[in-house]
Amino acid sequence: LNLLCRREHSSQEIAQKLARRKKLAHFDVTPLIQELLDVGWLCHARFAESFIRSRRARGQGPVKIIHELRHRGLKDDEFLLVLEQYDDWDSLAIDLLARKYASAPENPKQRAKMQRFLQSRGFNFSSIDKAITNLPKAADLPQYD
């Protein structure tokens, strides 16, 4: 319960953390986890909501978030409905790219660098393309002398 008071966890995370404790290393924690799920103290939907919200705040895209949720033991049906609530991934990609780069790429090398940046953050190609095309051209930016 002490672990669950701090933040939401997936059942796989709880099982791993309990297995690390010497007193519980020899016990099967599956019934305990099932009881926590039944009572509602452990909830994958709440975990998914909290996890997605925190990762979006860090500027991560849906591809990376989905990969991390699967890695933490959640099934697709446990988090896809929550993920679909956030439909403004394109605007998040645009904001991230605008903060990092002032203007649109002038050559293919710069464009590839921007694509790799957003791809490493977990955005899909349509969001990446929209973000790059929405950057202002260098000639359109105000010039300060």
Q: Along the 145 residues of the chain, how does pLDDT read in single tens digits?
A: 666 666 777 778 888 777 776 666 667 777 877 877 788 778 888 889 999 999 999 999 999 999 999 999 888 888 888 888 888 899 999 999 988 988 888 889 999 999 999 999 999 999 999 999 988 764 454 444 4
Burial environment of residue 120 by CB neighbours within 10 A (0 to 12, 13 to 18, 19 or more):
exposed
Distance between CA atoms of residues 41 and 133, nearest Å: 45
The pTM score is 0.79
